[in-house]
Chain A
Amino acid sequence: MRKKRRNRFRLDLLVCAGTGCVANGSFTIKAELEKEIARQHLASEVQVVTTGCQGFCERGPIVIVQPDGIFYQRVKKEHIPHLVEEHLLKGRPVKDLMYVPSPEAPPVSKMMDIGFFKHQRLIVLRNRGRLDPENIDEYIGFDGYQALEKAFTQMTPTEIIEEIKTSGLRGRGGAGFPTGRKWELCRASPGRVKYIVCNGDEGDPGAFMDRSVLEADPHAVIEGMAIGAKAIGAHQGFIYVRNEYPLAVKRIRIALAQAAAYGLLGEDILGTGFDFTIQVVRGSGAFVCGEETALLASIEGTVGRPRPRPPYPAKQGLWGQPTNINNVETWANVPVIVLRGARWFSSIGTKRSKGTKIFSLVGKINNTGLVEVPMGITLREIVYDIGGGIPGEKEFKAVQTGGPSGGCIPKNLLDLPIDYESLTNAGSMMGSGGMIVMDEETCMVDVARYFLNFTQQESCGLGQTAPNPVLTTLRYFRDEYEAHIKEKRCPALVCKALISYVIDPAACSGCTVCAKKCPSGAITGEPRKVHVIDQSKCTKCGICITVCPDKFRAVKKVSPARTET
């Protein structure tokens, strides 16, 4: 248990092992740290623990030194010997590996002083980065499964449902249906066999909170589902995980086995006579399976096509039996509500949207990552205070929320408080919480086209919300459409058919790099003489602009497209 770990070790090194940091080599970092710690004879004082996603994926791999909360970012293998010697042996934190908010600012040593973390409010992600998700004892050490014990031994099903209803919790997967009400409907549905389902198919592209929660704190989801099962009277649960999430599948499987071994799942849970088991089902790559009826079809082993509702799954779901579906984030809220009480939970957020919401802040933003904030926070706070603004001093243009059913919210709505209703009023929706930030170099017509292609290919089952991306971009960015149609011009210089790459004769020094790298042989020119792009050969791949040295920046995009050289 963690408290024991604290006593035994002077320092804990928490190495983030979410998908983002793993991709950047966090397991190599862990191995190197352990090797170096052993070499410095510190193994009895310092321990290395791998944790779930910290959320600040842009800065990975991340290493946090506890109990002081020193935050190291973009740690590479070659930094390790110095880090171990300076910080762990001599007690001098290494400034070079700390977060620097802007070039002129001093490095920030502590995690909680970094803007990205400071403004967040962690409820669902409370355990992120502080425990080893593959070790149930650590979850228990942080009050894990206390809510399950309370619900199973001190509360009746009606009391549990009442608590969730009073809390004001609404579904975090999209439409925001009141969770307690959903449970009540399923409990009231006649049927001997009922099912509980966790939707981990994370509908929207650009949203990854469900992956992160499953990877960082799988037991919170299991505990929430078990409480829901008790409330509804279900004995069989399913967790449906997106095919692209191998690490999440692995962690949830480990967690399920550990919970079963501790008697927290299976037969006669905690001696209460209540049985509940959970099975993992891996998706097979179909966006539409995030839709609940398609997801159920997929669990049943058929083609995942949505069917019309009603009947709702609460009446007729899996194999025709009453079924309750909530998504990962919703389930992970349940244990905290049961343990800390509905009144505490409902004190956070706005009148109709309670608690917190996790957003994945991605796209053209400095601090890319996963953030949990109280409902009612403004877009401006998310983009600037937490997200650190737009990279390269570019101009903010819009935020896309709600995935393919959502829309683009423009600059003049930056002070919009974020909750279910205000997003819908702005023509978008909450969705599962993807927030894709767009800057002046993003073309809104291209974005609208992207979502149209997406919904076409995925025969999405979104119905009336499918045109939202087009409608909002038309509403807020009509001038961009007109430029495309009337002037054949793409103001953001994105749409391939309307742009050309040209070389500015005044800036070109004839370094020949672009000519050497051009895959289609479209660039000609002598060394130290101005180079020229042959538009008839150019495939507009854009390599020339990326390889042209920064000191020249001679390759430019222009629109409308040129036909001559």
Chain B
Amino acid sequence: MTAQVQRILKKYKHEKSSIIQILQEIQEEYRYLPEHVLNEVSRKLRIPLSTVYSIATFYTAFSLTPRGKHLCTVCMGTACHVRGAPTVLSQIEERLKTKAGSTSADKMFSLETVNCLGACALAPIVVIDGQYYGQTTVDKVNRLIDPYYEKETT
């Protein structure tokens, strides 16, 4: 059993009802939910593996596949929608050559959408690794993404 998982389980006192919070911390640690860890959690908490999986797949914050180096989140809330979020999203998909909900082939970016970030004054919003970029437009997309690739090569 891995030390990280042990520490997290201990923090929540092996409490079954804390399963969601436990999975959140595991996800923060590994950036996704690895299969062997879910097996461990299921055994230690005595929760059927099928239940653990149903939780891991129901909540959109969880990912069962490894995420890219950076996480790019596009807000699809109503305010963002009327200010052009769909066109921004399709431009980002085009730039990263990947669809929302998946990771680019070079493993640099995972692209996700959320229902609302509650920062509607900044609409349309794109968040990369926790950094908010407000009032985005299609022609700003490259300027947003390129620096992350430039950092890679220097």
A interface residues (Cβ-Cβ under 8 A, vs B) = 19-20, 22-24, 57-58, 60, 202, 204-208, 210-211, 242-246, 281-287, 298-305, 360, 362-364, 368-369, 400, 403, 434, 436, 438, 442, 447, 450, 454, 458, 517, 519, 539, 541-543, 546-547
Give B18's nearest chain A residue, CB to CB.
A301
Pick from A23, A286, A450, A547 the residue with the most CB of B within 10 Å: A23
Known A-B contacts A205-B77, A285-B61, A300-B17; A360 and B120 likewise in contact (beta carbons under 8 Å): yes
* Segment of B2-10, B19-27, B102-110, B146-154 engaged in the interface with chain A: B19-27
7 A-B residue pairings within 8 Å (CB atoms): A19-B117, A19-B118, A23-B132, A364-B82, A438-B82, A442-B82, A543-B138
Name the 6 nearest CB pairs between A and B, nearest first. A57-B121, A208-B118, A23-B132, A284-B59, A205-B116, A205-B77
- Output the nearest chain A residue to B131 by Cβ-Cβ distance: A23
Q: Across the interface, do A244 and B62 meet the contact criterion of CB distance under 8 Å?
A: no
Check if A285 sits within 8 Å of B59, measured CB to CB.
yes
Given A19-B119, A205-B116, A300-B17, verify A284-B134 contact (CB < 8 Å). no
Asked whether B116 lies within 8 Å of A244 as measured between CB atoms, the reply is yes
Q: Which residues of B contact A (CB under 8 A)?
A: 16-21, 23-24, 51, 54-55, 58-62, 76-79, 81-84, 87, 90-91, 94, 114-123, 130-134, 137-139
Besides the contacts A20-B122, A543-B139, what 11 more A-B pairs have beta carbons closer than 8 Å?
A57-B122, A205-B78, A244-B116, A284-B59, A285-B115, A301-B16, A363-B78, A436-B82, A454-B115, A541-B138, A543-B138
Q: Which residues of B contact A368 (CB under 8 A)?
A: 120-121, 123
CB pair B116 A206 closer than 8 Å: yes
Question: A23-B119, A436-B82, A519-B94 are known contacts. Are A206 and B138 too (CB-CB below 8 A)?
Answer: no
Cβ distance B132 to chain A, nearest Cβ, rounded Å: 3
Question: What residue of chain B has the Cβ atom nearest to residue A318's Cβ?
Answer: B17
Complex CA–CA separation, A308 to B67 (angstroms):
36
Contact assessment for A206 and B134 in the assembled complex, using a CB-CB cutoff below 8 Å: no
The listed residue with most A CB atoms (<10 A of its CB), out of B76, B114, B132, B138, is B138
Name A443's closest neighbour in chain B (CB-CB).
B82
- Of B24, B51, B79, which contacts A206 at CB under 8 A? B79
Q: Which of A19, A60, A298 contacts B20 (CB 8 A)?
A: A298
Point out the residue from B17, B55, B118, B139 that lies within 8 Å of A207, measured CB to CB.
B118
Known A-B contacts A284-B20, A286-B58, A438-B82; the reply to A208 vs B120 at CB < 8 A is: yes
Contact of B120 among A22, A206, A517 (CB under 8 A): A206
Residue in chain B with minimal CB distance to A546: B139
Chain A residues whose CB sits within 8 angstroms of the CB of B123 once the complex forms: 362-363, 368
Find the B residue at minimum CB distance from A206: B78
Determine the chain B residues whose CB is within 8 A of the CB of A207 once the complex forms.
Answer: 116, 118
Q: Which residues of B contact A301 (CB under 8 A)?
A: 16-20, 55
Which residues on B sit within 8 Å (CB–CB) of A299?
Answer: 17
Chain B residues with CB under 8 Å of A542's CB are: 84, 87, 138
A20 contacts B82, CB within 8 Å? no
Q: How many angstroms between the C-alpha atoms of A532 and B58 in the bound complex?
A: 48
B118 touches A284 (CB 8 A): no
- Contact check, B121 vs A58: say whether CB atoms are below 8 A apart: yes
Is A541 in contact with B87, judged by CB distance below 8 angstroms? yes
Name the contact of B121 in the complex, choosing from A20, A210, A304, A438 (C-beta under 8 A).
Answer: A20
How far, in Å, is B20 (CB) from chain A's closest CB?
Answer: 6
A553 to B94, CA, bound (A): 25
Scoring A60, A205, A282, A436 by chain B CB atoms within 10 A of each residue's CB, the highest score goes to A205
CB-based contact A400/B122 at 8 Å:
no
**Are A362 and B121 touching (Cβ within 8 A)?**
yes
List, in ascending order, chain B residues with CB within 8 A of A208's CB.
116, 118-120
| Contact, CB under 8 Å: B21 / A282 | yes
Q: CB within 8 A of A546: which of B23, B78, B138?
A: B138
In the assembly, what is the distance between CA of A281 and CA of B19, in Å?
11
B134 near A244 with CB under 8 A, answer no
B21, B116, B137 interface centre (most CB from chain A within 10 Å):
B116
Contact A517 B116 (CB under 8 A): no
Contacts of A436 in B (CB 8 A): 78-79, 82
Nearest CB on A from B83, distance (A)? 7
Do the beta carbons of B60 and A211 come within 8 Å of each other? no
User: Given contacts A211-B118, A362-B123, are A303 and B90 in contact (CB under 8 A)?
Assistant: no
Cα A286 to Cα B114 in complex, Å, equals 9
A363:B79 contact, CB within 8 angstroms: yes
Contact between chains at B114 and A244 (CB < 8 Å)? yes
